[in-house]
Structure 1
């Protein structure tokens, strides 16, 4: 039996939110990261310190834009990136 793969094309491409710089007010950024991800304070602090870091992965563009706006609002540098399309290898 042959394996068949189907790629479903959606109108909404998944986006990642990437924190590129925490800025001067690191604890404010940590609080926003915590609110966005639901992680503990400690995990949010570790994530904010390891830049560049993917804060959210595979979210709709509207959610990614809102998250980037929230991070920039507290002085961080963040960007949204489209996730690359999956490539399927032939066997």
Structure 2
């Protein structure tokens, strides 16, 4: 049975929210990370201190910008990154499927 792959085309390219540095107010940043990810307080602290780390993956641009703004408001350094297009599987003739 052949695998079928679909490529969804949309105007909004998914973005990742990357925490690059927690800053000096680490506990404030941990609270923001907890609110954004829904993780426990302990896991949020671990995530906030292991930088750089992707906090949110594949979110719309507006949501990513709001998350970065919240993180920066808590004293962290964060950025949005456009997700790279996924690589489509190749057929035996070297063409992409889809």
Q: What is the TM-score of this pair, normalised by structure 2?
A: 0.87
Instruction: Give the CA RMSD over aligned residues.
Output: 1.2
Identify unmatched segments of 5+ residues in structure 1.
none
Q: Deviations over 1:33-89 (max 9, x none)?
A: 000011000000000010001111111000000000000001100000011001112
Size of the alignment, in residue pairs? 91
Larger gyration radius, structure 1 or structure 2: 2
Give me the whole-angstrom Cα distance separating, in 1, the residues matched to 2:53 and 2:85. Answer: 20
Identify unmatched segments of 5+ residues in structure 2.
92-98
Q: What is the TM-score of this pair, normalised by structure 1?
A: 0.93
Give me the whole-angstrom Cα distance separating, in 1, the residues matched to 2:9 and 2:3. Answer: 20
Q: CA distance change for structure 1 residues 2 and 37 in 2, over 3 Å: closer, same or farther?
A: closer
4+ residue stretches of structure 1 with deviation over 2 A?
1-6
Give me the whole-angstrom Cα distance separating, in 1, the residues matched to 2:2 and 2:32. Answer: 47
